[in-house]
């Protein structure tokens, strides 16, 4: 009988002893989760003009696209408000997300090529006239790195087409002012001047959307 009790005790204690001596295999789940936070779009953007061809990553070209849309003279009026730089940033963040969303949408519509030529797309780039403008546009692009607007009803998070328009005679005019065809560049500036953030601004012009911003930035 004593031998039977000893055998049972050994069988019961064996898993406990083994769990102390042998450490279970573990994967670094935390590291894997962190690695998936940042969205890197797997294509480059090709720009061609009379001087030659230029290749950009999507994130590097966003500030130049934002500059093409931004009425910098109007943003100078923000200086009369409290914390003008922060308010300009909210406006530039909204434009950054709109530019990136359209860029990715066009890329997907064209079959996800490794190199995207944006000629004929309605999207433009513009060189900066002042270093301070580039710094502000770049800061806004970095603050929204990888962020795009998606259809809230889409299970796959489909990136939407995000039209925009202005009352000026710029080349990228898409809609008529007040037509509700997308983001009004001038009215968005007014909202930012009033202290509205980029979430509020974008939701004023696009319905039923989700703004996907990577959490790793």
Digits of tens for pLDDT over the chain (217 positions)? 544 344 434 333 433 333 333 333 333 333 333 333 345 788 999 988 778 888 999 999 999 999 999 989 888 889 888 999 999 999 999 999 999 999 999 999 999 999 999 888 888 889 998 999 999 999 999 999 999 999 998 888 899 999 887 755 444 444 443 344 689 888 899 999 999 999 999 998 998 899 987 655 4
DSSP SS3 for 56: strand
Q: Does 5 reside within a domain?
A: no
| 3 state DSSP class of 96 | helix
Domain total for the chain?
Answer: 1
Max CA pair span of the chain: 99
How far is residue 80's CA from residue 145's CA, in Å, rounded to a whole number? Answer: 29
Please give the structure tokens belonging to residue 19: 């769990």
Q: Establish if 179 belongs to a structural domain.
A: yes
Question: Which tokens in the block code for residue 124?
Answer: 């433009």
Q: Is residue 30 part of a domain?
A: no
Please give the model's pTM, rounded to 2 decimal places. 0.76
99 within a domain of the structure (yes/no): yes
Q: Could you tell me if residue 22 is inside a domain? A: no
The set of residues, in sequence order, having a beta carbon less than 8 Å from that of 106 and lying 6+ positions away, is 116, 118, 121, 123
Contact present, 98 and 202 (Cβ < 8 Å) = yes
Closest CA relative to residue 193, chosen from 91, 55, 119 = 91
> Does residue 144 lie in a domain region?
yes
Domain extent, residue 162, equals 38-122+129-212
Residue at 199 is within a domain: yes
Asked whether residue 32 is assigned to any structural domain, the reply reads: no
């Amino acid at each position: 009988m004593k031998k039977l009790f000893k055998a049972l005790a050994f069988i019961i204690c064996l898993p406990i002893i083994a769990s102390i001596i042998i450490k279970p295999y573990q994967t670094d789940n935390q590291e894997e989760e962190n690695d998936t936070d940042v969205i890197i779009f797997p294509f480059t953007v090709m720009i061609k003009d009379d001087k030659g061809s230029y290749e950009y990553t999507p994130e590097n070209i966003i500030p130049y696209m934002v500059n093409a849309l931004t009425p910098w003279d109007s943003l100078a009026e923000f200086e009369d408000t409290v914390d003008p730089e922060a308010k300009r940033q909210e406006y530039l963040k909204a434009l950054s997300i709109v530019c990136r969303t359209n860029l990715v949408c066009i890329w997907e519509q064209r079959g996800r090529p490794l190199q995207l030529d944006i000629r004929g797309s309605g999207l433009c780039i513009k060189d900066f006239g002042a270093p301070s403008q580039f710094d502000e546009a770049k800061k806004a692009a970095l603050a929204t790195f990888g962020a795009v607007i998606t259809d809230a009803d889409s299970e796959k998070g489909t990136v939407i087409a995000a039209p925009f328009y202005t009352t000026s005679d710029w080349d990228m005019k898409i809609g008529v002012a007040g037509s509700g065809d997308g983001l009004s560049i001038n009215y968005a500036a007014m909202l930012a001047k009033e202290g509205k953030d980029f979430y509020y601004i974008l939701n004023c012009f696009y319905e039923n959307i989700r703004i996907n911003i990577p959490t790793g930035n």
